[in-house]
Amino acid sequence: MTRLLRLSVLPGLAACLLALAGTAVSAEEHKKPAAVTEISKDMVQVPKPPFTEGIFPCSMCHDPKAMPPNTKRRVLKDMHTEISLHHGPDSRWCLDCHDAYNRDNLHLANGKLVSFNTSYQLCGQCHGDKLRDWRVGVHGKRTGSWNGEKQYLLCVHCHNPHSPHFKPLKPMPPPTRPEAIQIKNGGAK
Amino acid sequence: MDQDACQPTPGAPCPSGENNGRREFLGAAVAAVATALTGCGTLSKEEFLQHNFRELSKEEVLTVIERLEKEYKEKFGREVKVANTPPMPGVMFGYALDLSRCIGCRRCVHACVKENNQSRDPEIQWIRVLEMDKEEGVDLQHAEQYYNPAEVPREGHFYMPVQCQQCKKPPCVKVCPVGATWREKDGIVVVDYNWCIGCRYCMAACPYGARHFNWGDPHLPSKDVNPDTHYLGNRPRPKGVVEKCTFCVQRTRKGRYTACVEVCPTGSRKFGNLLDKESEIRYVLENKRVFKFKEDLNTQPNFFYFYGV
C-alpha cells in the first residue's frame, strides 16, 4: 500500500522539487565522490555502474549554460531515442530520477542528490524489500568469500534501469541423452 | 623394518643375499596380483596398497598426494595441486536456491563441470536443471531435464536445479559396503576415489540422482584441467568410480563461494555457514519460505529451496 502511494506521489514530488532544485540542493553534497557510505562497514564497494561507453559524465553535453535544462515533460526526439522507458507508470520520465541541474547525479524523491555509484538508494525508494534483501546478500549475486569480503553488484548491473525486467537468456546445452552417448573401443570414450 | 626383512635365520640364509630382497619380491608379487585382479596394468603397487583416506596418517596422506600430483603431471603435462584442506571448526555448510529467480539457463551446470574436472566426453554433470510446469508445482511427473528452447524462462514454467543435497542422513553413505564415502564435519559428503570399488550402490540409494559414475576413462583434455584441486573433491578421477557435488570443497574450505554461486546470473544461489547467525543462508532460512526436496524421505538435506519474492 505504501509502495503504491509512493509510486504515485513520486513524479509530482519530483516535479515540485525540480523547480527548487537549483537552490535546494547544497553544492558540496554532490561534489563529494560518492563512496559507499550507506552500506555497513563489512560490505565492500560496488563496481562502477555499467555506463554506455562515452556517455558519462553527462555534463559533457548537458552543460547548463550551453543547453539550459528543459523541464517540460515530453518524449525525447533528438537524443537518447534508443531509450524506451518500461519502468513504472506512464507518467514517469527522465527527470524523475535524473537531476536537471546536476546532470552527473540522480536525485531521490525528496530532492537529495545521489551519485550513480549509489543508485541503489534511488531504486530502494520504491523497491524497499529488494533493497533490504540486497543489503544482507539475499537479493542479487555475490562473489568472493562466504566468510569474508564479498563483491556486490549495483541493481543496474543486472536490471536495465529504463527497462528493469530481467531479459531472457539462451540456455546452455542440455545433457546428452544416455542413448546418444557413443560407444568407442568397448566402452564409453 | 628393512633390516628385519632379511634377518638371516639359522639354516635359511637370505635368498637374494641383499637386505631388501624379500621386500622387493613381495612388492613385485603384490603388483603382479594387482595387475591380474584389476585387469589392467595402470594401478601402481602404492595405489593398490593404499588404505582408506580416513585411516591414513598425516605423513601417509602427504605421500599419497605427492604420488597423485606426480601422476597428474605425467598424464596432463602440467602442475596439478592436490590439497587436503580439513573442515573449518564451527562451520556447517548450507545452501539455498531461489526457485522464484532461477531461469534455467544452465550456467551453473557448465561452470561446475569446468571447476570440478568432470569427464568432458561423455560429459558428466553434477547439476541437473529440471523444467517444471507452474500449474503442477514441484512435481517430478512433470519435470524435463533435456529442455532446449531458444530462450529461457519459457512461459508457464519454472526451473529447479538439483544437485547433491549434502544430507545429514545420507542414504548413499549408509549403503556403501566399503566406507569409501562419508560425511565430513562441515557437512560435505565426500568420496575417496581410491577406495571406491565402483559398485554403484550409492547411486541406487540416492533419491536425488546426485551421484555419477565414470563408465569409461574420464576424457579430460589437459587444457581444460582445473589445477586447483582437493583430494576429496575435484582431483581428476579414474575410470570406474562414483563422483558427486562437494560444494566445491577446494574453494569453500578456503572461504570462497562455490563456482555455481558465482556464475549464476540471477543470483538465485546462496551459500554460507549455517552456524553463523549473520550469514546469508541463515537470513534465508529465518525470513523466506523454505522447503526441502523430498523431505518425507528424512534424508535431512543441508540444501534448501526457497521463494525469494
Question: In tens digits, what is the pLDDT along chain B, a chain of 309 residues?
Answer: 444 444 444 444 444 445 567 777 777 776 666 566 555 556 788 888 999 999 999 999 999 999 999 999 999 999 999 999 999 999 999 999 999 999 999 999 999 999 999 999 889 999 999 999 999 999 999 999 999 999 999 999 999 999 999 999 999 999 999 999 999 999 999 999 999 999 999 999 999 999 999 999 999 999 999 999 999 999 999 999 999 999 999 999 999 999 999 999 999 999 999 999 999 999 999 999 999 999 999 999 999 999 998
Mean pLDDT in chain A?
A: 77
Of the partner residues B145, B150, B308, the one whose CB lies closest to the CB of residue A139: B308
The C-alpha cell that represents B188 in the structure block: 560435505
Are residues A168 and B261, on separate chains, in Cβ contact within 8 Å?
no
Of the partner residues A138, A168, A175, the one whose CB lies closest to the CB of residue B283: A138
Q: Which positions 103-122 of B are in contact with A (Cβ < 8 Å)?
A: 103-107, 109-110, 121-122
Measured between alpha carbons, how far apart are the two ends of chain B, in Å?
67
Are residues A142 and B261, on separate chains, in Cβ contact within 8 Å?
yes
Of the partner residues B152, B256, B272, the one whose CB lies closest to the CB of residue A169: B152
**Model pLDDT, residue B42:** 66
Contact between residue B122 and residue A181 where contact means Cβ atoms under 8 Å apart: yes
Are residues A147 and B128, on separate chains, in Cβ contact within 8 Å?
no
The C-alpha cell that represents B113 in the structure block: 563441470
What is the interface size between A and B, counted as CB pairs within 8 Å?
108
Nearest to B303 by CA among B139, B179, B219, B187: B187
Question: Position of cell 540456455?
Answer: A171
Residues of chain B with Cβ-Cβ distance to A169 below 8 Å are: 103, 105, 151-152, 265
Compute the distance between CA of residue B13 and CA of residue B199 in angstroms, rounded to an integer.
45
Q: Which positions 139-198 of B are in contact with A (Cβ < 8 Å)?
A: 145-153
Of the partner residues A145, A166, A177, the one whose CB lies closest to the CB of residue B256: A145
pLDDT per residue as tens digits for the range A11-36: 443 433 333 333 333 333 333 333 34
Is the confidence at residue A5, as pLDDT, over 90? no
Q: Is B232 helix (H, G, I), strand (E, B) or coil?
A: coil
| Whole-Å CA distances, B279 to A88, B93, B228, B254, B272 | 33, 11, 26, 16, 6
The C-alpha cell that represents B108 in the structure block: 551453473
Which string of b and e fits B197-223 if b means at least 16 CB within 10 Å?
eebbbbbebbebebbbbbbbbbbbeee
